[in-house]
């Protein structure tokens, strides 16, 4: 199995890198250079820039607006976008519900929803978790009762990321309470403007309103918004989560954060010397780089296997597990090297050099990385059972 990139693939990397630098709007590039935070309008503008180029959905089939790239080129593109510090696009339409509609939706649903996902005309959020159904997602209680030509939704979803900016939500809802819990769940699309839907953002420990609680009170959803077959939502959700977990490795993002740590350490003086000269700091950076290189090799193996036609399997749990742990370790180290300067949420220019914004906020937000997409404890169970072959506890 060849895990190196070919000269053609490296040439493609250079093409992507050069295009990003030339196409990124000036005010977005200025924020990217200092690892700033992007507001929804800036993220949407970057989305539209990629869409105009035809690069917005590299992993979609070409007939639905994809690029036709192979797995290696898709990985290279994703890595370069992360390394450039570009706005992180919402995954809910492009990575999650879009591919699911392509795989399980009917032709009418594809024509209705896919073009507006690609163009960012409609923004999506995810309705999976509930107050008492997180890692044990199959225990969800949002009800979708039969109302004739529509479903009637009643219940609550939580951790609905950026639902306050979304137009649509895809939910897992219980359509048959009489069968075992995994068997009575359906996958339904809901317009957030429908009467009875209430979205309430709440403050995170990162001092941002990234998450929301979403309530459904007698919400009428047309049955034509059911994806696939009734009561088969659990099967569709598992297919979606496999792709989500592979993407959560975040190698490009962690690589950029490591470069940022080195920059912070270089610019921070301690007893008249750059902190980058401190053997303890250099050792911590080296340890983190070794871990990241190991994760890269695991990701390259998954890419090489995918090139041979193997869909993401339980190895996606390894990538999610180690990738999110490394993301957290990166910001642990960033906080350490910034010292007392890390204690300001958004690091206004008057407090610390403006090049180091949002470290404390991201440090707090990234605590959730080992929970969302399936907690890392669950990923360890998957690895033990499906890769190591150990019996279930």
Q: Which residues are catalytic?
A: 244
The angle subtended at Cα 247 by Cα 245 and Cα 248, nearest 5°, is 65
Number of other CB atoms surrounding residue 309 within 10 Å: 7
Pick the closest to residue 197 from 258, 154, 254 (CA basis).
154
DSSP string for residues in 209-255: --EEEEEEEEEEEEGGGEESSTTBHHHHHHHHHHHHHHHTT-HHHHH
Would you say 120 and 51 are in contact if contact means Cβ atoms under 8 Å apart? Answer: yes
User: How far, in Å, CA of 378 to CA of 359, rounded?
Assistant: 28
User: How far, in Å, CA of 297 to CA of 299, rounded?
Assistant: 5
Number of other CB atoms surrounding residue 377 within 10 Å: 11
Residue with tokens 């690589």: 255
User: How far, in Å, CA of 210 to CA of 62, rounded?
Assistant: 32
Residue with tokens 């989305």: 47
User: Which tokens is 85 given?
Assistant: 């510090």
Q: What share of the chain is helix, strand, coil (3-state, %, to 5)?
A: 55, 15, 30
* C-alpha gyration radius of the chain: 22
């Amino acid at each position: 199995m060849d895990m190196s990139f070919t000269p053609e693939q490296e040439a493609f990397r250079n093409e992507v890198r050069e295009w990003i630098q030339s196409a990124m709007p000036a005010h977005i590039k200025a924020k990217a250079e200092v690892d700033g935070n992007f507001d929804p309008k800036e993220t949407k503008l970057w989305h539209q820039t990629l869409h105009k180029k035809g690069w917005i959905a590299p992993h979609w089939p070409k007939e639905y607006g994809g690029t036709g790239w192979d797995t290696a080129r898709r990985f290279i593109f994703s890595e370069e976008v992360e390394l450039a510090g570009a706005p992180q696009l919402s995954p809910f339409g492009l990575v999650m519900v879009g591919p699911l509609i392509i795989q399980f939706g009917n032709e009418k649903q594809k024509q209705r929803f896919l073009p507006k996902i690609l163009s960012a005309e409609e923004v999506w959020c995810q309705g999976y978790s509930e107050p008492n159904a997180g890692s044990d997602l199959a225990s969800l209680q949002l009800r979708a009762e039969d109302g004739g030509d529509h479903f009637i939704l009643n219940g609550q979803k939580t951790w609905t990321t950026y639902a306050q900016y979304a137009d649509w939500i895809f939910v897992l809802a219980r359509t048959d309470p009489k069968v075992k819990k995994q068997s009575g769940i359906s996958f339904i699309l809901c317009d957030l403007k429908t009467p009875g839907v209430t979205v309430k953002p709440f403050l995170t420990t990162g001092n941002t309103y990234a998450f929301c609680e979403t309530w459904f009170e007698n919400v009428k959803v047309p049955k034509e918004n059911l994806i696939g077959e009734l009561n088969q939502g659990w099967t569709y959700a598992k297919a979606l989560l496999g792709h989500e977990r592979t993407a959560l490795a975040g190698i490009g993002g962690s690589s950029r954060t490591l470069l940022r740590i080195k920059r912070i350490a270089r610019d921070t003086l301690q007893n008249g010397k750059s902190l980058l000269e401190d053997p303890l700091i250099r050792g911590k950076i080296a340890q983190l780089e070794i871990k990241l290189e190991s994760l890269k090799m695991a990701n390259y193996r998954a890419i090489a296997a995918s090139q041979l036609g193997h869909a993401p399997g339980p190895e996606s749990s390894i990538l999610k597990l180690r990738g999110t742990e490394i993301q957290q370790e990166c910001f642990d180290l960033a906080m350490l090297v910034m010292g007392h300067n890390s204690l300001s949420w958004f690091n206004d220019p008057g407090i610390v050099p403006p090049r180091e914004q949002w470290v404390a906020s991201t440090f707090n937000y990234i605590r959730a990385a080992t929970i969302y997409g399936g907690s890392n404890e669950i990923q360890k169970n998957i690895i033990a059972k499906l890769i190591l072959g150990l019996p279930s506890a």
